[in-house]
Structure 1
Amino acid sequence: MAISTHMQELYGLPAHDFPTGEPAGGLPDAASVAWRVSVDAYESDEAWEEAFARFTAAVDPGAVTALVVGAWSDVYDSAPDEVVEALVASSRQFPRLRALFLGDITFDECEISWIHQGLVTPLLDAFPDLHEFGVRGGQDLRFPAVRHEHLRSLTIETGGLDAEVVRGVAASDFPALERLDLWLGTSWYGGTAEPADLAPILAGARLPRLRYLALRNSQIQDEIATALAGAPVVAGLETLDLSMGALGDDGVEALLAGQPLTHLKKLDLHHHFVGEALRERLRATLGAAGVEIDLSDVQEEEDREDRYTAVAE
C-alpha cells in the first residue's frame, strides 16, 4: 500500500487547497477549512515560502485553526527547513492555530521514505496552543525532547523511524496528550527503533491522559506486542493500534497471556499475519467482552521473512 491521496480533513475540518494561481470564485471562510498550502514537488516555479506569503495575504491568518503543509519543491532532495522557518516567523499571525501537519505528500509526489525532513520541534515551540501536530517522512527527521502543555495528538508517519526520534518523543513531556501515533517502519528504510526505546511511553507516567496509542506499520510488531503485554500505559487506553505491520501469532500469544485487555474499546490489528486459531481466540476472549477488534486485511506468508509492513517505500 502507498499513500495515494491527500488528507481529507484535519481538526475536524475539510481540507481545502489554497490555489496556485488567482482564486476562481473566491475563497472559503478562513476558519471553515483546513488550509493546504503546497507547490509542485519537482522544480516548482514558486517556492513554498512564496506560496505561503500569498496565502497569508489572501486569507486572514488570525482566523485559521488548521494548516496542512503539502509538497515543497524538490522534496526528494530538500528538507523543509525554509518551510519551518517561515511558519515559525509567522507564528504570531496565527493565534488560533490548533492543528498543523507537515508533509501531506502522496506517493506520486514522493515516496514516504524518500521525503526529507529535519528539525521539527521548533514548530511546537512556536505554536504553544497547538492541539494536533503531525509529520510525514522520516529521512533526516529530528525530534529532540520537548515540553508542550496543550498538545493532544501527535502523529509521525514513516516507512522507517530512527530510534533517536523515538527516544526524543518518549522523553518529551506532553501532559495533555490523548493520542500518539507512531509508524515505526522497517530497517530497510531507516527504522532502527527497538522496544527499549519506547520504555518511557510504555511506562505511561509521562502521558497521563493518553487514550489512543498506535505503534504500527512496524516489522518488529511481535516484539512491540510482547512489550505492551505488561506495559502500565495499556491500563488507561481506550484504543490500542498495532496495525499495518508484521504482527503474527507470537505477538498475539503475548497479548493474550499478558494483562487484561477487556477494558479496551478497540484493538486494531488490520494488516497482519495472525493465524486463524489465534484470530478465533481473540474473538472469543476480547470480542465476547465487547472489544471491537479489527482483524481485516489478513496477509499470507510462507516464511516469517516474507512479512512486510503496509507502508514502506
Structure 2
Amino acid sequence: MINSHVSSFAGLPVLPFTPGMALPADPSAVAWRLEVEEFDADPTEFAGLVRALLDEVPAEAVRAVVVGEWGEAYERPLPVDLLVDAASKWTGLRAVFLADLVGEQCEISWLTHGDVTPLLAACPALEVLWIRGAQGLRLEPVRHTALRELRIESGGLPAEVVRAVAACDLPALHRLDLWLGVADYGGDATVDDLAAVLAGDRLPAVRHLGLCNAEHADTIAAAVADAPVVGRLEVLDLSMGVLGDAGATALLAGQPLTHLRRLDLHHHFLSEEVAASVVAALPGVEVDVSDPQTADTYDGRPYYYTAVGE
C-alpha cells in the first residue's frame, strides 16, 4: 500500500530517471520517476532533475510522472511549479503521482504540499492524479473535463481540501479515493463536507468511490446508506477505517447495494456476526471483510485505529 514505491502507475512500469541514462526504445512506454537520493538535498537538485528530463527525453513521450523524494519533504512543499512549467512541453502527459514516498523517507502525515490547482489548470488533458500526504495541501474548486481518477492518500485530510474536491466539476471522473484519516493528523472533515460528493451532481461518471481510512467510519457509512451517488457505483470502498457494527448495520438498512460489483470493508472492527450478515445480504457482490481488528486499550478505554495514521 504505502510501504513500498509503486512499480507501475497508470498502466505503465515505473522507471527512475537518471541524467545521462540510456533511454528505453519507447520512452512513452514508462512512467518516469523523479527522485533525489538525499532527503535533505538542496532544492536545485530536484529542479535540475526536471530540467534534465525535459532536455533528454522527447517531450511528447512523457506520459506519466511519479515524484519521489524532492528534498526535505517533511518541511519543504513539493515544487509542483516545476511540473506546471514543464506541462507546456509535456503535451502527452496524462498521469501524475505526487509524493510516492514511504515511511522510511517521510511519514505520510509529514509530507508537505502546496497548491495543486495550477497543475490541473496547466494539464487540461490530465487523466490521473494521485497525491500522497496532505500537510499544507490546497486545492481550489475547478472544472476539469479529462480527469478520470483522483486519489488523495493521507493520515488526515483537511476539511477545506475535502470541500474543494466536492466543489470541483469533474464530468469524466470515474474513480475518487479520499483517505480521510484522523483528527490528530489534521483529518477534521465531517459528513457535511462530503455532502456534494455524496450527492454526485458534479460526478456524473463516477463508478468507484472510496471514503477510506476514516476515524468516523460509522457516521460516513450511515450517510452513504442514503446517498444518491451510490446508485451509480460499481465499487464502494469504506475500508481501512474504524467501521463498527453500527456503521455496517446502517449501511445495510439504507438503499439496496445489490447492484455493486464490490464492497470493500477490509480493516474493520465488525463483530463476526455482523461481518457475516453483510456478506449474506449481498450474495452477488464481492464483499471484502478481511483484516478484522480488535480495539486496543488506552487509559482503560477501548482505542480504535485507522490503517494509516502518521
Note whether the superposition's TM-score is higher than 0.5: yes
**Structure 2 partner of 1:222:** 218
Tell me, which stretches of 5 or more residues in structure 1 are unaligned?
A: none
How far apart are the structure 2 equivalents of 1:302 and 1:141? Answer: 31
How far apart are the structure 1 equivalents of 2:25 and 2:302? Answer: 50
Superposition deviation, residue 29 in structure 1: 2.2
How far apart are the structure 2 equivalents of 1:28 and 1:125? Answer: 31
Q: Deviations over 1:158-204 (max 9, x none)?
A: 10000000000000100110000000000110000000100001001
For residue 100 of structure 1, give the secondary structure of its aligned residue in structure 2: strand
Which of 28, 41, 48 does residue 31 from structure 1 map onto? Answer: 28
Which of 290, 298, 305 does residue 296 from structure 1 map onto? Answer: 290
2:153 alignment partner AA:
E
CA RMSD of aligned residues (A): 1.4
**Structure 1 partner of 2:66:** 68
How far apart are the structure 2 equivalents of 1:100 and 1:28? Answer: 22
8 Å Cα contact 1:41/1:110 also seen in 2: no
Deviates more, 1:295-304 or 1:268-277: 295-304
8 Å Cα contact 2:180/2:211 also seen in 1: yes
For residue 31 of structure 1, give the secondary structure of its aligned residue in structure 2: helix
**Structure 2 partner of 1:239:** 235
Superposition deviation, residue 28 in structure 1: 5.0
**Structure 1 partner of 2:169:** 173
Q: Deviations over 1:220-274 (max 9, x none)?
A: 1111000000000000000000001111101100011000000000000111101
How far apart are the structure 1 equivalents of 2:260 and 2:2? Answer: 28
8 Å Cα contact 2:74/2:110 also seen in 1: yes
Which of 259, 262, 269 does residue 266 from structure 1 map onto? Answer: 262
**Structure 1 partner of 2:3:** 4
- The structure 1 segments of at least 4 consecutive aligned residues displaced by more than 6 Å after TM superposition are none
How far apart are the structure 1 equivalents of 2:20 and 2:169? Answer: 43
How far apart are the structure 2 equivalents of 1:50 and 1:224? Answer: 44
Q: Deviations over 1:99-129 (max 9, x none)?
A: 1111111111100000011101110000000
How far apart are the structure 1 equivalents of 2:3 and 2:254? Answer: 37
TM, length-normalised to structure 2: 0.95
How far apart are the structure 2 equivalents of 1:169 and 1:40? Answer: 33
The answer to whether the aligner puts 1:59 opposite 2:57 as a matched pair is: yes
2:69 alignment partner AA:
A
Q: How many residues are treated as equivalent by the alignment?
A: 306
How far apart are the structure 1 equivalents of 2:302 and 2:211? Answer: 20
8 Å Cα contact 2:296/2:304 also seen in 1: no
Q: Deviations over 1:61-110 (max 9, x none)?
A: 21111111111111111012xx2111111111111111111111111110
Identity in percent: 50
Task: Pick closer, same or farther for the CA change 1:305–1:175 going to 2, 3 Å.
Answer: farther
Superposition deviation, residue 27 in structure 1: 3.8
How far apart are the structure 2 equivalents of 1:14 and 1:149? Answer: 26
8 Å Cα contact 2:213/2:307 also seen in 1: yes
**Structure 1 partner of 2:245:** 249
Deviates more, 1:93-102 or 1:207-216: 93-102
How far apart are the structure 2 equivalents of 1:176 and 1:230? Answer: 23
1:5 alignment partner AA:
S
Deviates more, 1:25-34 or 1:92-101: 25-34
**Structure 2 partner of 1:308:** 305
Q: Within 5 Å, which residues of 2 pair with 1:142-157?
A: 142-157=138-153
TM, length-normalised to structure 1: 0.95
Q: Within 5 Å, which residues of 2 pair with 1:83-122?
A: 83-122=79-118
8 Å Cα contact 2:127/2:148 also seen in 1: yes
Superposition deviation, residue 47 in structure 1: 2.1
8 Å Cα contact 2:180/2:212 also seen in 1: yes
Which of 264, 279, 290 does residue 283 from structure 1 map onto? Answer: 279
For residue 92 of structure 1, give the secondary structure of its aligned residue in structure 2: coil
For residue 68 of structure 1, give the secondary structure of its aligned residue in structure 2: strand
Deviates more, 1:37-46 or 1:5-14: 37-46
1:310 alignment partner AA:
A
**Structure 1 partner of 2:41:** 44
